[in-house]
């Protein structure tokens, strides 16, 4: 464990550790994708004593945050369209997240005297009674998997060093759980899309290997079958799908990709 992680752990109480274990357990449960995100939102709201939590996913290329992919609790629905169309592009927390993997609060980015004078604060955050914000940027290597915003009103206290430490401990676990869930969902949907073409399980395995750029010899080694058997599978795959070349098989799988990131319409709990 790194020195910084040990330092963070040293700040945590037993209650903090229990919160972390509970949230990690929730994130790794065998839940439907949207249910997992909503349960994480509820757990974070409780663990950080927040008024609101917003959970976004990365876009299809995992390069930027998809601001239409929000699920959340304590969110003012009136402001969502404005967030997507304008304010998200000027949010200092998203800009900070794009520059590096980070957990940060307002005064990690800029002094409060500047924050409260920003246009985005006065036109977007302040009308929603959001004064303090803790941002958890979820990433894996260079992939942007998601962004979580945790909100408190001005009447509450700012997030403490201990709470920032708790978020830093949680961040890599949430990122791993999210990445695993996305990959499992992607594979399941790929199977459904490819399966509609009448392919067998072994033929689906061959399609996946082709999409990874493997040669017939490499596919044979990976699947423990002969090159001749690989070629036979490919012939059957092309016959069943009507695809004429290997590159076209990638499109068959990628056709299911957008659905991985779709969000249900009722994925927001408004301010009560």
98: closest CA among 135, 46, 43, 49? 135
On average, the pLDDT of the chain sits at 85
Average pLDDT (95-116) is 81
Of residues 78 and 270, more confidence is placed in 78
Task: Return the ∠ at Cα 213 (arms to 211 and 219), rounded to 5°.
Answer: 90
Average pLDDT (59-81) is 87
Structure confidence at residue 127 (pLDDT): 94
Structure confidence at residue 262 (pLDDT): 41
pLDDT of 260 over the 80 cut: no
Per-residue confidence band for 194, with pLDDT thresholds at 50, 70 and 90: low
Predicted confidence (pLDDT) per residue in 196-224, tens digit:
668 888 888 898 888 888 999 999 999 99
What's the predicted TM-score (pTM) here?
Answer: 0.74
Classify residue 157 as exposed, middle or buried by CB count within 10 Å of its CB (0-12, 13-18, 19+): exposed
Would you give the distance in Å from CA 132 to the centre of its chain?
A: 22
Give the highest mean pLDDT range of 48-52, 76-80, 183-187.
48-52
Structure confidence at residue 267 (pLDDT): 57
Give the highest mean pLDDT range of 28-37, 65-74, 241-250.
65-74
Enter the tokens of residue 88. Answer: 């998200």
| Share above pLDDT 90 across residues of the chain, in percent, rounded to a whole number | 49
pLDDT of 132 over the 60 cut: yes
Enter the tokens of residue 37. Answer: 């995100």
Cβ atoms of 149 and 73 closer than 8 Å? no
Average pLDDT (216-245) is 91
Of residues 142 and 216, more confidence is placed in 216
Cβ atoms of 162 and 47 closer than 8 Å? no
pLDDT of 269 over the 70 cut: no
Average pLDDT (218-247) is 91
Domains of the chain: 3-183+262-270 (3.30.450.40), 187-257 (1.10.10.10)
Task: Return the ∠ at Cα 152 (arms to 146 and 156), rounded to 5°.
Answer: 155
Tell me how far apart the alpha carbons of residues 197 and 189 are, in angstroms, rounded to a whole number. Answer: 13
Hunting for tokens 């302040």 — which residue is that? Answer: 126
């Amino acid at each position: 464990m790194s020195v910084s992680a040990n330092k963070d752990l040293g700040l945590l109480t037993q209650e903090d550790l229990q919160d972390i274990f509970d949230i990690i357990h929730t994130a790794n449960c065998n839940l439907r994708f949207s249910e997992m995100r909503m349960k994480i939102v509820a757990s974070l709201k409780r663990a950080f004593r927040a008024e609101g939590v917003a959970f976004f996913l990365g876009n299809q290329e995992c390069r930027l945050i998809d601001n239409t992919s929000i699920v959340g609790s304590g969110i003012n629905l009136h402001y969502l369209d404005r967030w997507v169309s304008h304010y998200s592009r000027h949010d200092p927390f998203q800009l900070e997240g794009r520059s590096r993997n980070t957990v940060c609060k307002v005064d990690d980015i800029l002094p409060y005297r500047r924050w409260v004078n920003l246009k985005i604060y006065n036109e977007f955050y302040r009308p929603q009674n959001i004064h303090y914000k803790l941002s958890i940027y979820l990433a894996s290597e260079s992939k942007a998997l998601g962004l979580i915003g945790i909100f408190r009103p001005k009447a509450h206290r700012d997030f403490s060093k201990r709470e920032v430490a708790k978020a830093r401990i949680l961040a890599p676990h949430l990122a791993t759980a999210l990445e695993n869930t996305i990959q499992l969902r992607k594979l399941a949907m790929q199977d459904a899309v490819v399966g509609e073409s009448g392919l067998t399980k072994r033929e689906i395995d061959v399609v996946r290997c082709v999409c990874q750029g493997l040669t017939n010899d490499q596919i044979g080694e990976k699947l423990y079958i002969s090159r001749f058997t690989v070629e036979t599978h490919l012939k059957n795959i092309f016959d069943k799908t009507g695809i004429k070349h290997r590159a076209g098989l990638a499109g068959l799988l990628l056709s299911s990709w957008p659905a991985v990131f779709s969000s249900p319409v009722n994925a927001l709990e408004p301010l009560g």
